[in-house]
């Protein structure tokens, strides 16, 4: 009942909004950049974006090349999702008010050598671009963007109800690490097993995306993610959280790679319908003290229209990590 | 998450095309030792080797087609099975899974892609490896990759 009512009020708001919208430049309410220990997480629910006029405004924010990519998606829903993803990342980054030159439309994007998207800032002699990092993930029913300062970030979202077409244990034996296979094999209830698999998948995805080196550089069976016991004082987010929340740890299984203790995770249940994982570097306090836990701010948003902080509410329940 | 997939042009195999099916089977077999070596070193090497091998063929027909690029090597049956597998995984109509269609455009995220790879490995009794999935952009690429790996295993 509530989701339906929320949808109705958003539609009404948008109808009133349309008239103003055509006569003015897009509304971009500024947002403060996250501090080094903070992670920002923005998400849109495509079902709540119904106004054709608003979708046209999103299109106007895109350069031709991106518009073409959106239009090459097969089907209306996929096109809408792709459009929302581009609109979300462009408006969000522009709202951080990096400088007066930056607008959603003026932002340029590129990819690193492994294909990870990043902002291509306009360099000039008297301006250094900020160390702003972002990462996008989406499903057909949720589009998300994570933002950090001075830390690579990877996020992944999956629908909780998502069906796994292959046999879960066969899949996990083929692609995950030995410890993870053991852990999932020990879960006897198939539904719980499927859910635990999905949570683990999103965490592994988020980690590989944070590393930014591509799927093949960090095969899923070369690292293990597991839940450790809850640390005392391990989260700084007031409000609701699952009482069984525990630390999330990653361990590399081959000697060649990176120090895995520098990465931290958060696992959330979003909008009651999705698992979302976030992975970023820990911010090491300069005096060599123990690293500061991740602070997380979550917004539900409709780009150019409104947003609502949902961290600490039922829409963003922490189910693991943050340490 | 679809963003993981390569957006650069796919590595397509270049293969000198001859009209007679028998000739192309011979070519595939003679390539198989080359393919086996190149797969160990990484699939990146394969297109280069195909070009030089084609240059040594003496048949006038193959020489005429020597410089042809982006020629698919998947057998029609292979492509059909690949299309069917992808359609089932993504719960879409097979008609939308045209050979030239990109995985990303079909809305396949990374979990879909890996599920598809696993289903294909099981169907064809081959092993693709993580590097394979990353270089696949289109449905045709997936079918070509299966064909390559099948030949190497033959």
Task: Indicate yes or no: CB of A215 within 8 angstroms of CB of B88.
Answer: no
Predicted pLDDT at A289 = 58
Question: What integer is the mean pLDDT of B11-17?
Answer: 37
CA A42, distance to chain mean position in Å, is 7
DSSP assigned state of A61: T
- The answer to pTM > 0.80 is no
> Of A98 and A156, which is predicted with more confidence?
A156
Residues sharing a CB contact under 8 Å with residue A245, sequence separation 6 or more, in sequence order = A230, A234, A235, A318, A319, A320, A321, A322
Contact A271, A308 (CB under 8 A): no
Task: Indicate yes or no: CB of A165 within 8 angstroms of CB of B89.
Answer: yes
Q: Which of B70, B77, B83, B63 is nearest to B14 (CA)?
A: B70
Give the number of residues written for chain B: 154
**pLDDT bucket at A2, cuts 50 / 70 / 90:** very low
**pLDDT bucket at A286, cuts 50 / 70 / 90:** low
Mean pLDDT of all residues belonging to chain A: 85
Residue A75 touches partner B, C-beta closer than 8 Å: yes
> Of A240 and B115, which is predicted with more confidence?
B115
Contact A107, A119 (CB under 8 A): yes
The least confident of A128-132, A246-250, B6-10 is: B6-10
Task: Indicate yes or no: CB of A166 within 8 angstroms of CB of B118.
Answer: yes
Q: Which of A10, A292, A47 is nearest to A150 (CA)?
A: A292
Predicted pLDDT at B11 = 38
Predicted pLDDT at A265 = 94
Question: What integer is the mean pLDDT of A179-196?
Answer: 96
SS3 A294: coil
Residue in chain B nearest A164 by alpha carbon: B115
Mean pLDDT of all residues belonging to chain B: 68
CA distance B14 to chain A (A): 24
Query: Is 80 exceeded by the pLDDT of residue A89?
Result: yes
Question: What integer is the mean pLDDT of A244-270?
Answer: 81
Q: Which of A115, A162, A219 sits opposite B6 (nearest CB)?
A: A115
Neighbour tally for A115: CB within 10 Å: 17
DSSP string of A102-166?
Answer: --TTT--EEE-TTS-EEE----BTTBPPP-EEEEEEEETTEEEEEEEESS-EEEEEEETTPPPSS
Distance in angstroms (rounded) separating the CA atoms of residues B126 and B119? 10
Distance in angstroms (rounded) separating the CA atoms of residues A103 and A95? 8
Q: Residue A249 — φ and ψ, nearest 5°?
A: -125, 145
Residue in chain A nearest B123 by alpha carbon: A166
Query: Is 70 exceeded by the pLDDT of residue A11?
Result: no
Q: What is the pLDDT of residues B41-92, one digit of tens each?
A: 444 434 433 443 444 444 555 445 444 455 668 899 999 999 999 999 999 9
Residue B4 touches partner A, C-beta closer than 8 Å: yes
Task: Indicate yes or no: CB of B111 within 8 angstroms of CB of A138.
Answer: no
Q: How many helices (H) and strands (E) does chain A have?
A: 7, 13
Predicted pLDDT at A231 = 56
Torsion from C-alpha of B124, B127, B131, B132, nearest 10 degrees: -10
| Cα–Cα distance list, A243 to A3, A125, A229, A240 (Å) | 26, 51, 12, 9
Q: What is the pLDDT of residues A197-239, one digit of tens each?
A: 999 999 999 999 999 987 778 889 999 999 887 655 444 333 3
Q: Which of A136, A174, A216 sits opposite B3 (nearest CB)?
A: A136
Those of residues 242-301 in A touching chain B at CB distance below 8 A are none
CA distance A288 to chain B (A): 35
Q: Residue A51 — φ and ψ, nearest 5°?
A: -75, 120
**pLDDT bucket at B151, cuts 50 / 70 / 90:** confident
Q: What is the pLDDT of residues A50-65, one digit of tens each?
A: 999 999 999 999 999 9
Neighbour tally for A169: CB within 10 Å: 16
Query: Is 70 exceeded by the pLDDT of residue A138?
Result: yes
**pLDDT bucket at A245, cuts 50 / 70 / 90:** low
Has B144 been annotated as catalytic?
no
Query: Is 50 exceeded by the pLDDT of residue A310?
Result: yes
**Which token pair is A17?**
């909004």
Q: Which of B111, B114, B130 sits opposite A158 (nearest CB)?
A: B111
> Of B125 and A24, which is predicted with more confidence?
B125
CA distance A19 to chain B (A): 33
Query: Is 80 exceeded by the pLDDT of residue B117?
Result: yes
Q: Which of B7, B101, B110 sits opposite A115 (nearest CB)?
A: B7
Residues sharing a CB contact under 8 Å with residue A159, sequence separation 6 or more, in sequence order = A139, A140, A141, A142, A273, A274
Predicted pLDDT at B5 = 44
Residue in chain B nearest A220 by alpha carbon: B130
Those of residues 30-89 in B touching chain A at CB distance below 8 A are 88-89
Regarding an ipTM greater than 0.85, the answer is no
Residues of A in contact with B121 (CB under 8 A): 174
CA distance B77 to chain A (A): 22
Q: Residue A168 — φ and ψ, nearest 5°?
A: -60, -45
Residue in chain A nearest B131 by alpha carbon: A216
> Of A14 and B73, which is predicted with more confidence?
B73
């Amino acid at each position: 009942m509530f989701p339906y009512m929320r949808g109705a009020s958003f539609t009404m708001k948008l109808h009133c909004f349309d008239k103003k919208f055509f006569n003015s430049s897009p509304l971009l309410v500024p947002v403060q950049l996250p501090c080094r220990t903070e992670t920002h997480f923005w998400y849109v629910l495509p079902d709540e974006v119904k106004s054709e006029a608003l979708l046209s405004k999103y299109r106007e924010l895109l350069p031709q090349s991106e518009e073409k990519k959106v239009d090459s998606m097969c089907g209306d829903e996929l096109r809408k999702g792709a459009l929302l993803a581009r609109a979300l990342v462009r408006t969000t980054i522009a709202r951080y008010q990096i400088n007066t030159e930056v607008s959603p439309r003026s932002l340029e994007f590129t990819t690193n050598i492994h294909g990870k998207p990043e902002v291509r800032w306009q360099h000039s002699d008297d301006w250094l671009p900020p160390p702003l990092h972002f990462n996008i993930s989406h499903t057909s029913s949720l589009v998300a963007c994570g933002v950090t300062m001075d830390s690579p970030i990877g996020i992944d979202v999956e629908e909780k109800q998502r069906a796994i077409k292959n046999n879960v244990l066969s899949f996990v034996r083929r692609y995950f690490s030995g410890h993870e296979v053991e852990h999932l094999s020990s879960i006897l209830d198939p539904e719980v097993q499927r859910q635990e698999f999905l949570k683990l998948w999103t965490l592994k995805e988020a980690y590989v995306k944070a590393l930014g080196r591509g799927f093949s550089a960090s095969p899923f069976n070369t690292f293990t993610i597991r839940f450790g016991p809850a640390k005392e004082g391990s989260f700084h987010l007031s409000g609701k959280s699952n009482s069984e929340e525990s630390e999330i740890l990653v361990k590399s299984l081959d000697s060649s790679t990176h120090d895995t203790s520098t990465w931290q995770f958060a696992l959330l249940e979003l909008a009651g319908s999705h698992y979302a994982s976030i992975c970023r570097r820990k911010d090491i306090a300069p005096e060599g003290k123990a690293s500061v836990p991740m602070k997380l701010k979550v917004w539900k948003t409709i780009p150019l229209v409104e947003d609502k902080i949902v961290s600490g509410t039922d829409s963003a329940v922490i189910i693991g990590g943050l340490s | 998450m679809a963003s993981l997939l390569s957006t650069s042009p796919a590595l397509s195999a270049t293969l000198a095309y001859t009209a007679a099916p028998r000739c192309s089977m011979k070519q595939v077999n003679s390539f198989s030792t080359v393919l086996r070596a190149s797969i160990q070193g990484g699939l990146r090497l394969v297109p280069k080797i195909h070009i030089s091998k084609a240059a040594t063929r003496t048949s006038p027909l193959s020489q005429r087609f020597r410089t042809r690029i982006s020629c698919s090597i998947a057998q029609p049956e292979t492509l059909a099975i690949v299309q069917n597998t992808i359609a089932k995984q993504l719960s879409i109509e097979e008609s939308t899974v045209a050979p030239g269609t990109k995985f990303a455009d079909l809305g396949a995220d990374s979990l879909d892609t890996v599920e598809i790879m696993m289903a294909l490995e099981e169907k064809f009794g081959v092993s693709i490896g993580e590097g394979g999935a990353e270089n696949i952009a289109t449905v045709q690429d997936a079918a070509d990759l299966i064909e390559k790996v099948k030949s190497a295993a033959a």
